[in-house]
Amino acid sequence: MKRQITFTFITLSLVALLLGGLSFTSNGRTGLVPTAHAQERDAAAPPIQAEFPRRPTCSLGTVQGSYGYTAQGSIVSNAALPPGIPTGPYASQGLVTLDGFGSLTGLANDDFNGFFVPTSTTSGKYTLNENCTGTASFVGGASFNFTVVEGGKEILFMLAAPGVVATGVAKRL
């Protein structure tokens, strides 16, 4: 009995859908889809222009300050790295300070496939384009491409070296 009632309900629902569809009422009309009507505008009124979100703009000063960071990835070939750096997983965490004029300093703790390198200090230069993308180069050769997000609260970066696949996030302190 229960199976027959379910079958009858499904059959009637399908028939109703095929014959009349779902009905919406607007201005006395019915149909499967509600209708929309254009409104007339006063000819003297200025034209309406769509407003698009403003693109963020950045300058060297946008990232002035200190950031804590973490990065991880893999070293797939050590051709461009100093001797003794093994291939395999890579991780780093530390602190970088940008001066707002294109110079930076950093403290890093690195791990290369289980080989831990204690805290080291470095310095370098950075550039930042108006579209919030930039590059950083450290003394010793490490280079990064980055994007500034959230008005300078975070920096997303990627190590730019042959044989290394590593990305990270730096957060303003």
What pLDDT is recorded for position 43? Answer: 64
Positive/negative CA dihedral, 58, 135, 166, 110: negative
**pLDDT over 70 for what percent of the chain?**
66
Q: Give the residue with greater pLDDT, 84 vs 53.
A: 84
What pLDDT is recorded for position 15? Answer: 39
Q: Answer whether 126's CB lies under 8 Å from 134's CB.
A: yes
Q: Give the residue with greater pLDDT, 18 vs 117.
A: 117
pTM higher than the cut 0.75 = no
Distance CA 81, CA 75 (A): 9
pLDDT per position as a tens digit, 55-105: 779 999 999 999 999 999 999 886 667 777 788 999 999 999 999 999 999
What pLDDT is recorded for position 40? Answer: 64
What pLDDT is recorded for position 31? Answer: 52
Residue 77 neighbours by CB under 8 Å, 6+ apart: 87, 162, 163
